Each structure stands twice: as structure tokens, then as C-alpha cells.
Structure 1
Amino acid sequence: MSVRTTSRPRRSAALGAGAVALVLLTTGCAQDASADGGAEPEHKSFALTGRTLTVDSDDSRIELVPGDGEEVRVTRWFSGRVLLGSTPRAEWTVEGDALTLRVSCAGLLAHCDARHRIEVPADTAVTLRTQDGAVTAKGFSTPLTLHASDAPLTVEDVSGPLDLRSTDGAITTRSVSSSRVRARTEDGSLVLALVRAPERVDAGSRDGSVTVELPEAAYDVRTEVEDGRTNVSVLEDPASSRVVSVTAEDGNITVRPAG
């Protein structure tokens, strides 16, 4: 085993608004998402014409899991309150194999909370684009493409090809047995934990550290770092067909054995 380590250096108007808010609070003049606050789950189901589900979401936490049926099943939890403005609302629309999730929550002292659980037929690939909401995906054997803005991504117990990207959010994977993994972050850390030796890993970060954990095998490890350190402690073989490419700007790179 070879170990490689390198490093490089590195008042009055506000009071008026507050008074208005206080009056609204004390008089109960607020717009609610529903009479009961929208805490009860709502459900929607639809059939797919193909084998790929595309999801476009904003301002909502998303949970993706394989389902046991032939339809996509969506469960929504939504609550919202605005003291002065339009009534908060959550919308879901389906067009072909595309699901669009939108939350409208604007006004004085607006507060909304949305969460969606999406159950996908087991043989369906998923492509998701979202902003302002954490994403978790677990248990998939089909391809996953998850791109997020201002949102962290967490992926666990998957075996299909992975394409992950996050801006202003960390990416964390656990128990991944995918043969091909591509992951990119901007302003966030990246952790890839694999339990089966991959054929190809392409990982990179701008302004964040990158950690790749690999099962025992020989790898062709290629690293490039700016303003950070690199530590590789897996068995390296430039002739190996298993290629692990890792880049980082303003962050450290660690490639180490799993476990």
C-alpha cells in the first residue's frame, strides 16, 4: 500500500412595522394555509408512461423511496401562516412523467413548512431538481440524478448509477454499491461512502472538503487540489481499471479505506 500526502498553504420605521405586526397578531388577522394549519397529510397518485420520473421542486423537503406498486404515490405535509399577504398554498401538478411541486409563501412574517414523500415504482429512474429544501433518497437500484440549490443531499443504500450535484449544500452518501458515481458540490462538503468497489468515481468540490471511502481493491487514483491537503491511503495502481478522480478548491481531499 502506498500513502501519499501533499499540502498547499492556505429604528423608527422598524418600530412602525413592528406595531402593525403586533396589532395583526393580537387581532388574529392572519392568512392560514387551511383552517387546521395544513398539518394533515394529503395524497396524490399517478401512473407513468415511461420508466423515468422527473421531479421539479422548490421550498420543500423531499424524501424519495422505492414503492411497491405501479404508480407514483406522493404524500404532502404543508402548513403556512402569513400575517399580511396572500394565503399560503402548496401545489402539485403532473404532466406526462413530470411532477412539479411549488410552494407560495410571501407576505409580512410569512412562515411555511412543506414536506413531500415520493414513492416511485421500483424499476423507475429518477431525475430531481430542487432548491431550498433538503433531499433524502434511500433504497434505489435504478439511476438517480439529483441536482439541488441551497439544499443538502443525503443518499443511502443505493446501487444504481449516481449523478449528484449541490450548490450551497453538502452531499452525504452511505452504503453505496453503485458502479459509477458522479458528485459535485459548491460551498459544501462531499462524503462518498462505498461498500462495493466502483468502476468509476468522479468527485469534486469548490469551497469544501471531499472524502471518498472505498472497499479493499487497487485503484487508479487521480487528485487535484488548490488551497488544501491531499491524503490517499488506499492501494494505488495506475494500471487499474477502477478510476477514482477527485478535485477540490479551498478544501482537503481524503481517499481512504472504508470502515
Structure 2
Amino acid sequence: MVALGLGLAGCSVDASTAAPESKVFPFRGTTLDVRTHEVAADLVAVDREDVKVTRWFDAAAGSEHLSWELKRGVLDIDAGCSGFAICDAKFRVEVPKGVTVLRDGRKSGLRGDG
């Protein structure tokens, strides 16, 4: 859904080559629901007390929409573009070990949960 090309010959985007942006959110709960809006997101349990989100985003055309917000145990992350658009995005979400993590309201597994 994020990468969409509409006749833009020669335009190529790749989030993996974009410069990363990060944001850290204070977190005190035991459950975190990560809402991804169908954007690729790695959920990783690490030794930390807060939640760190890293975003890679690349766009060649279109109206960009980028958001990340943590409220009441829900981390809402989104990155994309609309209109005559081509873009690509991915996220990495680092959460404290031991926190129950939901993805879009459903149980998820974490890499590195040890």
C-alpha cells in the first residue's frame, strides 16, 4: 500500500536507503498497541524503559503524510503519500522487554524477546 507508482517512469524510491529519523516516547505501561496503518514495522524487545521509533521514508511525488504519536498505550505510526504518488516507508519500534505488544489490536510476536 505504501509504495504506489502511477506512471512515473524512472522514479524509484527505497526506504532502506533513506536517512533514518528517530523519536523516543516515555512509557510506563505493561501493554503497547502499535497501530501501523499497513506500513512495514519491525517490533523489537530491548533493554530500555521507553519506546524508541525509527522511521525511514522516501518519496518521489505526491502529498506526504507522516505521523507518530503515543497516547494511552497506543502508538500510532503512519507514513505514506497520496495523489499522483510514489513513496516507501518502514519503521522499527523498540519496546521494553516484558511489555505485551499488540499490532493493530492483535497479539504479536517480538524478535529478541529474551
**Shorter-chain-normalised TM-score: which range?**
0.7 to 0.9
Residue 122 of structure 1 is matched in structure 2 by: 97
98, 110, 113: which one aligns with 1:137: 110
65, 87, 101: which one aligns with 1:112: 87
1:115 aligned counterpart, secondary structure: strand
The 8 Å contact of residues 67 and 78 in structure 2, kept in 1 or not, is answered as: yes
Residue 75 of structure 1 is matched in structure 2 by: 54
CA distance in 2, matches of 1:123, 1:69: 10
The amino acid across from 1:127 in the alignment is L
CA deviation profile, 1:71-101 (whole Å, cap 9, x unmatched): 111111011122xx5x313211111221101
- How many residue pairs match? The answer is 100
Q: Runs of 4 or more off by more than 4 Å in structure 1?
A: none
Residue 74 of structure 2 is matched in structure 1 by: 98
Q: By how many angstroms is 1:136 displaced?
A: 7.8
2:28 aligned counterpart, secondary structure: coil
1:56 matched to 2:56? The reply is no
The 8 Å contact of residues 49 and 96 in structure 1, kept in 2 or not, is answered as: no
- Structure 2: where are the runs of 5+ without partners? 1-6, 11-16
CA deviation profile, 1:96-127 (whole Å, cap 9, x unmatched): 2211012241122x111111111110121101
Percent identity, aligned pairs only?
35
Based on CA coordinates, which of the two structures has the bigger radius of gyration?
1
Query: What do you get for the CA RMSD once the two structures are aligned?
Result: 2.6
Greater RCO structure (CA 8 Å; 6+ sep): 2
CA distance in 2, matches of 1:49, 1:125: 12
1:39 matched to 2:39? The reply is no
CA deviation profile, 1:205-250 (whole Å, cap 9, x unmatched): xxxxxxxxxxxxxxxxxxxxxxxxxxxxxxxxxxxxxxxxxxxxxx
The 8 Å contact of residues 62 and 136 in structure 1, kept in 2 or not, is answered as: no
CA distance in 1, matches of 2:100, 2:49: 13
Q: By how many angstroms is 1:55 displaced?
A: 0.7
The amino acid across from 2:104 in the alignment is R
TM-score, scaled to structure 2: 0.73
1:138 aligned counterpart, secondary structure: coil
CA distance in 2, matches of 1:103, 1:42: 12
Aligned residue runs from structure 1 range 1-259, under 5 A? 39-82=18-61, 85=62, 87-108=63-84, 110-129=85-104, 137-140=110-113
The amino acid across from 2:26 in the alignment is A
